[in-house]
């Protein structure tokens, strides 16, 4: 994760609802115009508070937000000076609060607006609403068991969580939007616990002003937790480049969960916060692993961690490996892809690219079939068009444009890299092995594929022979070096769901081969041709390839039989003579 530096120029909208200087004024500022002078590199390190990252924030974004807040305060101060001199202020601060609706009393400082910090796109809102409906079916108590809160002993840092109002707010997710808003309003009017310093007080207000839920983002600080006291940590479930996953049991509730650890100091806090936020933000989708609320660090400061649902079966990689290179078959592949493509389509609609799709990151939950499948590992997830540095590490799933890139070269994040990886995973599921090691012309299998694709060689590489025309089209539209020609996740889903993926195989004439088989078994010496070569088809009883080979086998069988008959008749004659 360390090599992944990224920049984004997202405007952040800050609604200032109340200030000490202009108590009944609300203004709306965007950070866009402050962005350039406030870039991270121009800020000294101590001015870069790390808490409160949003998923789409990358390096420096929280700095920008913080600085924008103080800048906004300064602007208001300037505005006030103009007003006090009786001069019309050139600073565009307007929108006085409507007098008909008196604002609730708030702390005289800048805080975040009532709206979620990130405004969600229409597509996302719709999906989230659908997910919420699923939640709504559950009783509030069932819902609250889904929160990590239950996995933790309340600590002083989390004291606001034990506030009954907060609990009420959490449960309110199963109520209507109006009720939820009412909860939020009433909660915000309550007194917050006393804090030692002004900073603490402001951060508590911020924390409490945000209605944290899945599909939202968290601004909470990373809390220290005594791991041994809360969980019984069991075996390791897997490791990756950036961390490791362990199975654990929550001591109090006896729930089995998976804890994803990020060792310190190797892991940057920004990387950890980003991964947690993406995982939490996306987890309402039914085919994305459920991440529970909360970012933590172990009390001995050796690792950051967050908690996810536990997948009791295996990853797709293990499932395919168990088939001994036979693949999981067409029906199961279709099931897996229906789930995976739904998740990826959802991410792409949100302008997010997974960037690390592989069989290891697809988890299979059911013991007997592939009906419950979820995508995991959002460590490399980035927004479309973000610039990232290329990683040295190349794997089987990397698209051609990634394999041709040199280390540290900058790349722009594109949805089509996920589509390539999906093409590879599709091949892997069907055939039980990868089409090539690396998508580079230095690798012969890939070179052959590319030659066929560019029509420089009419012969389709043998490994693609069993696939139907439609499946070949899917490969052409996912494993093409021209990333603009690649399909979208939606196109892929349509093709995979509707079409037949394998060619129909003609059954060989079984009787014919049985006859050959019998003759060769009874008279093994006769299985040789006149020039002494073994007949592959005849000896194994397998079909000979090509008409010519079949004819010669038949001729040979006739001659063998005739010889045998001649021998027998000779023996009969000599026996009679005797
Ligand atoms: N919730 C889970 N339940 C069970 N096993 C899991 C779970 N999450 C991950 N794993 C296993 O742990 C492995 C590593 O997890 P993950 O991919 O999240 O780690 P990573 O450090 O991000 O790896 P990568 O090198 O792919 O970036 C996965 O391949 C999977 O087999």
Measured CA to CA, the distance from residue 386 to residue 9 in angstroms comes to: 9
Q: Is 376 in the pocket of ligand 1 (CB under 6 A)?
A: yes
Percent of the chain with pLDDT over 70: 51
Condensed to tens digits (0 to 9), the pLDDT of residues 116-158 reads 334 445 665 565 555 444 433 333 233 333 333 333 333 333 3
Q: Among 361, 330, 325, which Cα is nearest to 343's?
A: 361
Q: Is 147 in the pocket of ligand 1 (CB under 6 A)?
A: no
Query: DSSP class of residue 527?
Result: G
Give me ligand 1 centre to Cα 235, in Å: 13
pLDDT on residue 126: 61
pLDDT on residue 549: 62
pLDDT on residue 494: 86
Give me ligand 1 centre to Cα 210, in Å: 30
- Kindly give the number of the ligand 1 atom that is closest to the alpha carbon of 376: 18
How much is the average pLDDT of 529-539?
37
**Which residue puts its alpha carbon closest to atom 1 of ligand 1?**
310
Active site residue 181: no
Condensed to tens digits (0 to 9), the pLDDT of residues 190-221 reads 333 333 444 444 444 433 433 334 444 555 67
Condensed to tens digits (0 to 9), the pLDDT of residues 342-362 reads 999 999 998 999 999 999 999
**Taking all residues of the chain, what is their mean pLDDT, rounded to a whole number?**
67
pLDDT on residue 83: 62
Full DSSP string of 214-231? TTS---PPPEEE-HHHHE
Give me ligand 1 centre to Cα 18, in Å: 44
Asked if the peptide bond before residue 189 counts as cis, ω within 30 degrees of 0, the response is no
Q: Which conformational region is residue 339 in: left (phi greater than 0), alpha (psi within -120 to 50 degrees), or beta? A: alpha
pLDDT over 80 at 60, yes or no:
no
pLDDT on residue 575: 66
Alpha carbon distances (Å) from 55 to 10, 152, 160, 382, 476 = 11, 24, 24, 9, 34
Condensed to tens digits (0 to 9), the pLDDT of residues 166-182 reads 333 333 333 345 544 54
Percent of the chain with pLDDT over 90: 23
pLDDT on residue 400: 87
Alpha-carbon torsion, ordered 258, 169, 114, 350, to 10 deg: 30
**Which residue puts its alpha carbon closest to atom 13 of ligand 1?**
238
* 100 or 399, greater pLDDT: 399
pLDDT category at 407 given cuts 50, 70, 90 is: confident
Q: Among 337, 373, 288, which Cα is nearest to 495's?
A: 337
Which ipTM was obtained for this model? 0.95
- Kindly give the number of the ligand 1 atom that is closest to the alpha carbon of 243: 21
How much is the average pLDDT of 275-285?
88
pLDDT on residue 84: 59
pLDDT on residue 43: 35
Give me ligand 1 centre to Cα 246, in Å: 9
How much is the average pLDDT of 299-325?
90
- Which residue in 277, 287, 356, 414 is the catalytic one? 356
Maximum alpha-carbon separation in the chain: 143
pLDDT on residue 152: 36
Q: Please indicate if the annotation marks 260 as binding a ligand.
A: yes
Burial class (CB in 10 A: 0-12, 13-18, 19+), 192: middle
Condensed to tens digits (0 to 9), the pLDDT of residues 362-386 reads 999 986 788 899 999 999 999 999 8
pLDDT on residue 528: 37
The secondary structure element, H or E, covering residue 30 is: strand 27-30
Low-confidence winner among 50-59, 321-330, 468-477 (lowest mean pLDDT): 50-59
Condensed to tens digits (0 to 9), the pLDDT of residues 233-254 reads 988 898 877 889 999 998 888 8
Phi and psi at 184, nearest 5°, equal -60, -45
Burial class (CB in 10 A: 0-12, 13-18, 19+), 362: buried
Q: Is 271 in the pocket of ligand 1 (CB under 6 A)?
A: no
Condensed to tens digits (0 to 9), the pLDDT of residues 540-574 reads 344 445 566 666 677 777 777 777 777 777 677 66
């Amino acid at each position: 994760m360390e090599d992944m530096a990224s920049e984004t120029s997202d405007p952040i909208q800050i609604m200032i609802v109340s200030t000490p200087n202009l108590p009944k004024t609300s203004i709306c500022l965007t950070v866009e115009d402050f962005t350039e002078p406030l870039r991270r590199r121009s800020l000294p390190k101590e001015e870069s508070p790390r808490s409160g990252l949003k998923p789409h924030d990358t390096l420096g974004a929280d700095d920008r937000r913080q600085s924008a807040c103080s800048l906004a305060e300064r602007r208001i101060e300037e505005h006030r000076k103009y007003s006090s001199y009786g001069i019309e202020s050139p600073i565009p601060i307007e929108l006085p609060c409507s007098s008909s609706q008196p604002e609730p009393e708030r702390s005289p400082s800048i805080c975040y607006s009532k709206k979620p910090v990130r405004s969600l796109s229409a597509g996302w809102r719709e999906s989230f609403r659908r997910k919420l409906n699923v939640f709504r079916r559950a009783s509030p108590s069932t819902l609250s068991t889904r929160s990590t809160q239950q996995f933790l002993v309340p600590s002083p840092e989390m004291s606001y969580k034990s506030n009954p109002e907060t609990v009420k707010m959490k449960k309110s997710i199963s109520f209507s939007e109006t009720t939820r808003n009412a909860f939020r309003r009433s909660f915000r009017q309550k007194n917050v616990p006393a804090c030692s310093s002004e900073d603490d007080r402001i951060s508590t207000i911020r924390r409490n002003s945000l209605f944290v839920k899945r599909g939202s983002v968290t601004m909470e600080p990373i809390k220290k937790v005594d791991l041994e006291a809360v969980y019984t940590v069991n075996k390791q479930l897997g490791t990756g480049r950036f961390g490791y996953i362990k199975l654990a049991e929550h001591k109090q509730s006896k729930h089995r969960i998976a804890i994803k650890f990020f060792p310190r100091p190797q892991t940057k806090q920004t990387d950890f916060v980003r991964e947690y936020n993406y995982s939490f933000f996306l987890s309402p989708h039914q085919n994305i692993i459920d991440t529970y609320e909360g970012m933590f660090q172990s009390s001995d400061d050796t690792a950051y961690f967050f908690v996810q649902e536990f997948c009791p079966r295996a990853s797709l990689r293990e499932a395919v490996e168990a088939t001994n290179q036979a693949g999981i078959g067409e029906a199961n592949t279709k099931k897996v892809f229906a789930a995976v493509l739904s998740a990826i389509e959802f991410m792409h609609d949100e302008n997010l690219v997974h960037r690390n799709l592989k069989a290891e990151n697809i988890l299979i939950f059911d013991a007997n079939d592939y009906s419950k499948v979820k995508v995991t590992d959002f460590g490399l997830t980035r927004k479309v068009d973000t610039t990232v540095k290329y990683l040295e590490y190349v794997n089987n799933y990397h698209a051609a444009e990634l394999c041709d890139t040199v280390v540290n070269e900058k790349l722009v994040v594109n949805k089509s890299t996920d589509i390539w990886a999906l093409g590879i995973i599709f091949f892997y599921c069907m055939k039980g092995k990868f089409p090539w090691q690396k998508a580079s012309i230095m690798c012969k299998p890939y070179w052959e594929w590319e030659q066929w694709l560019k029509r420089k060689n009419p012969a389709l590489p043998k490994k693609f022979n069993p696939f139907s025309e439609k499946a070949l089209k899917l490969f052409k539209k996912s494993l093409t070096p021209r990333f603009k020609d690649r399909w979208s996740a939606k196109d892929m889903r349509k093709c995979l769901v509707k079409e037949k993926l394998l060619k129909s195989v003609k059954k060989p004439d079984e009787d014919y081969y049985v006859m050959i088989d019998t003759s060769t078994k009874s008279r093994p010496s006769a299985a040789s041709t006149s020039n002494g070569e073994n007949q592959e088809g005849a000896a194994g009883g397998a079909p000979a390839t090509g008409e010519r080979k079949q004819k010669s086998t038949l001729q040979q069988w006739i001659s063998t039989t005739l010889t045998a008959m001649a021998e027998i008749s000779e023996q009969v004659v000599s026996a009679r003579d005797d």
